Amino acid sequence: MFIVYGHAELFFPYCASLKEKRKYIQSIVARIRKRFNISIAEVAYQDLWQRSILGFSAVCGSQAEADLILQVIRDNLDRHEDAYELLHFQHRNFRCPLE
């Protein structure tokens, strides 16, 4: 069993309200959840309209699946770079031995 988790820090230079930022966040989260059943949510800066941190985690059966999930998350974040800037993307994955 493999566990992958991390966070992505986003900056929305063109957002003028929390409502507009939430629209982007909900779109990102829905796209990633649609492709893979992972846990992802806005975990910080909910009250700021130009910043956000998305936290994510997943449990996988293989290292290849963990790598694929990380690649999908990164690709989805890179897809709409005109609306926001990806400031920081950090992740960790490790093998959890089954006993």
Query: Using one digit for the tens of pLDDT, what is the confidence trace for 36-82?
Result: 888 999 999 888 889 999 999 999 888 898 898 888 888 888 887 77
Contacts for 92-98: CB closer than 8 Å, 24+ residues apart? 92/4, 92/5, 92/6, 93/2, 93/3, 93/4, 93/5, 93/63, 93/66, 93/67, 94/2, 94/3, 95/1, 95/2, 95/63, 96/1, 96/2, 96/3, 98/1
Domain 2-95 top-level CATH class:
alpha beta
For the chain, the domains span: 2-95
Q: Which pLDDT does position 79 carry in this prediction?
A: 81
pTM: 0.83
Q: Which pLDDT does position 93 carry in this prediction?
A: 86
